[in-house]
């Protein structure tokens, strides 16, 4: 034995064998060994998986059914371990869902194809949640967003994590909660109702402006009402509204006049836009078509007689 160990090659082989056995033993016993760490790292690189980045799948945002009722989705896992979103109460003991609208496919959704619909006895499959989310976003966009900012987003991004609705020029961020950083930096966005910053543009104002139509000889601009209007109509102060202007005359689109009158602005002026010089119908009939109208009013704001 002594003569064997005196052989340098044999001695080195024994030392190397002992070292390998020691490393293997350490790898088995240590919870955070380099083997485990290396395996986890390789798994994350190959599969995109990392324990620190696991999140609950994103359910569709709130929507409205055919009856005007709000549908709110809640994430849950059924008894088979399937990840789903439910529009109604979820029983945490039985892992079941009672959809808010059992007559429509918006009641429940799944995160993979081919999941049987338990409400329909397995005769149909649940829609994919991303498809429901895309449909809801499209509906919300058509109802609230200006044409130039067609992509709808909603998320708890406001003060105190309050819910904020946004319209974006380009596709929304990965989780659908806000516009992309590029759109935010370039001011290619607006907010619906509540805002994140005081400088955020209002989607309702932009939508009204972009949809407004002016007579062809007039230019469209966004006008902010001030002292002239508020002297007679206090509610007018600070209102931004579309205005059609030219060298000699200006007018408000007829639907804008109607909306403002409902808000208590221009309520002393003629209700028929053809009878008022500052409604575009009146402007066209008087100054373009030059039609005689005994009820025509050319004054801008009329003080109340009461």
* pLDDT recorded at residue 129: 92
* pLDDT recorded at residue 30: 40
End-to-end Cα separation, the chain, in angstroms? 122
Reply yes or no on whether the pLDDT at 279 is more than 90.
Answer: yes
Strands annotated E in the chain:
63-64, 70-71, 74-77, 83-86, 90-91, 96-97, 108-110, 151-155, 164-168, 189-192, 219-224, 240-245, 250-251
Backbone angles phi, psi at 46, to 5 degrees: -80, -35
DSSP letters, 161-186, are G--EEEEESS---TTSSS--HHHHHT
Reply yes or no on whether the pLDDT at 88 is more than 80.
Answer: yes
* pLDDT recorded at residue 113: 93
User: In the predicted model, what is the mean pLDDT of residues 219-238?
Assistant: 95
What whole-number distance in Å separates Cα of residue 129 and Cα of residue 71? 14
The alpha carbons of the chain give a radius of gyration, in whole angstroms, of 33
Residue 254, CB-side half-sphere exposure with 13 Å CA sphere: 13
Q: How confident is the model at residue 85 (pLDDT cuts 50, 70, 90)?
A: very high
User: In the predicted model, what is the mean pLDDT of residues 271-284?
Assistant: 96
* pLDDT recorded at residue 249: 95
What whole-number distance in Å separates Cα of residue 298 and Cα of residue 286? 10
Reply yes or no on whether the pLDDT at 33 is more than 70.
Answer: no
Q: Is the dihedral angle over the CA atoms 80, 84, 87, 88 positive or is it negative? A: positive
pLDDT digits (tens, 9 = 90+) for 282-298: 999 999 999 999 999 99
pLDDT digits (tens, 9 = 90+) for 196-209: 999 999 999 999 99
Reply yes or no on whether the pLDDT at 149 is more than 80.
Answer: yes
DSSP annotation of 118 reads G
Report the Cα 64 to chain-centroid distance in Å.
15
């Amino acid at each position: 034995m002594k003569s064997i160990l005196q052989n340098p090659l044999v001695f080195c082989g024994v030392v190397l064998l002992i070292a390998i056995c020691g490393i293997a033993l350490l790898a088995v016993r240590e919870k955070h060994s380099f083997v485990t760490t290396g395996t986890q790292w390789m798994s994350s690189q190959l599969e995109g998986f990392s324990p620190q980045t696991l999140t609950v799948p994103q359910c569709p945002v709130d929507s409205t059914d055919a009856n005007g009722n709000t549908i709110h989705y809640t994430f849950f896992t059924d008894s088979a371990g399937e990840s789903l979103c439910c529009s109604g109460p979820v029983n945490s003991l039985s892992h079941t869902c009672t959809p808010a609208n059992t007559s429509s496919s918006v009641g429940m959704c799944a995160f993979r194809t081919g999941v049987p619909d338990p409400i329909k006895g397995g005769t149909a499959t649940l829609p994919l949640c991303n498809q429901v989310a895309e449909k809801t976003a499209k509906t919300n966009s058509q109802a609230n967003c200006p044409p130039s900012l067609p992509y709808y987003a909603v998320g708890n991004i406001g003060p105190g994590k309050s819910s904020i609705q946004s319209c974006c020029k380009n596709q929304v961020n990965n989780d659908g909660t806000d516009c992309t950083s590029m759109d935010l930096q370039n001011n290619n966005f607006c907010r619906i109702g509540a805002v994140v910053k005081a400088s955020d543009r209002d989607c309702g104002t932009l939508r009204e402006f972009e949809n407004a139509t002016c007579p062809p000889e007039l230019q469209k601009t966004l006008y902010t009402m001030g002292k002239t209007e508020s002297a007679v109509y206090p509610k007018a102060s600070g209102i931004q509204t579309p205005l059609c202007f030219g060298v000699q005359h200006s007018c408000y689109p007829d639907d804008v006049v109607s909306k403002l009158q409902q808000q208590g602005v221009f309520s002393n002026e003629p209700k028929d836009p053809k009878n008022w010089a500052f409604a575009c119908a009146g402007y066209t009939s008087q100054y373009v078509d030059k039609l005689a109208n005994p009820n025509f009013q050319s004054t801008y704001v009329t003080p109340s007689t009461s």
